[in-house]
C-alpha cells in the first residue's frame, strides 16, 4: 500500500495545540493514523486521504500550521526515539520550528500583497578581470 507520512508543525505564534489537531483528525473520521507530538502531530495514511485531512487542518489556522512529508513510517524502530532509533532528527525540526513565527509574519505580508525590498546583491568579478589581476600580481 502506498503511504504518506506527514509532519504537522504548529507555529510558536499559533493558538492551536497538538491536542486540538489530533482531536480534529479523529473527528473527521478518515482512515488515517495520527500521533500527537510536542510540535504538532504525525499523520499517516493513503496520500489522497492525508491531503484531504491536511486541507481541513490548515483551515484551523491557515498561517500557523505547516507540514512536510517524512520518509520513515510512524513508529519505525529505525527512527522512533521511544525505541532508541538510530536516526534522531529533531535538531533540524526544532531550528525550523523556532523560525516559523518569522515565516508566519512573512506570509501575512506576502498574502497582503506587500512587495519585497530591493536587495543590493554585489556583482561578481568577471573571470577575465580575475585572470588579469592574477597576471598583474605575477
Partner 1 sequence: MKIFIDPPNSLILFDLVERFGHEPLSVMATIQERVDNLEIDMPPMNVTLTDVKNGLKYAGIEVPSGIRGRLAVWGPLIDQAEAAIIMEDAPYSFGCVGCHRTNLLVDFLVRKRKLPTIEIDYPRTEEDARNMVIRVKEFLEGLK
Kindly tell me which residue out of 119, 127, 134, 137 binds partner 1, with binding defined by CB under 8 A: 119
Q: How far is the CB of 73 from partner 1 (least distance, A)?
A: 7
Interface stretch with partner 1, choices 15-23, 28-36, 72-80, 128-136 (CB under 8 A): 72-80
Kindly tell me which residue out of 26, 78, 81, 132 binds partner 1, with binding defined by CB under 8 A: 78
**Residue 115 binds to partner 1 (criterion: CB under 8 A):** yes
Choose among 55, 8, 47: nearest CA to 31.
Answer: 47
Question: CB within 8 A of 118, min separation 6: which ones?
Answer: none
Q: Nearest 10 degrees: CA dihedral of 7, 8, 12, 14?
A: 180
Kindly tell me which residue out of 86, 124, 127, 128 binds partner 1, with binding defined by CB under 8 A: 86
6 vs 22 by CB, closer to partner 1: 6
Are 10 and 60 in contact by the 8 Å Cβ rule? The answer is: no
**Residue 69 binds to partner 1 (criterion: CB under 8 A):** yes
CA separation for the pair 138, 134 (Å, rounded): 6
Q: Nearest 10 degrees: CA dihedral of 50, 55, 60, 61?
A: 110
* Residues at the site binding partner 1, with contacts judged by CB under 8 A: 3, 5, 7, 9, 66-73, 76, 78, 85-87, 89, 91-93, 95-97, 99-100, 102-103, 105-107, 109-110, 114-117, 119
Amino acid at each position: 500500500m502506498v503511504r504518506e507520512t506527514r509532519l504537522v508543525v504548529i507555529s510558536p505564534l499559533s493558538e492551536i495545540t497538538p491536542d486540538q489537531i489530533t482531536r480534529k483528525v479523529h473527528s473527521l473520521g478518515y482512515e488515517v493514523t495520527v500521533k500527537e507530538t510536542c510540535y504538532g502531530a504525525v499523520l499517516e495514511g493513503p496520500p489522497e486521504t492525508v491531503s484531504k485531512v491536511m486541507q481541513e487542518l490548515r483551515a484551523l489556522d491557515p498561517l500557523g500550521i505547516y507540514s512536510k512529508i517524512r520518509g520513515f513510517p510512524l513508529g519505525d524502530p529505525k527512527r522512533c526515539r521511544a525505541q532508541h532509533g538510530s536516526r534522531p532528527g529533531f535538531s533540524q525540526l526544532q531550528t525550523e520550528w523556532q523560525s516559523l513565527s518569522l515565516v508566519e509574519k512573512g506570509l501575512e505580508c506576502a498574502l497582503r500583497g506587500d512587495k519585497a525590498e530591493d536587495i543590493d546583491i554585489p556583482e561578481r568579478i568577471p573571470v577575465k578581470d580575475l585572470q588579469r589581476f592574477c597576471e598583474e600580481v605575477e
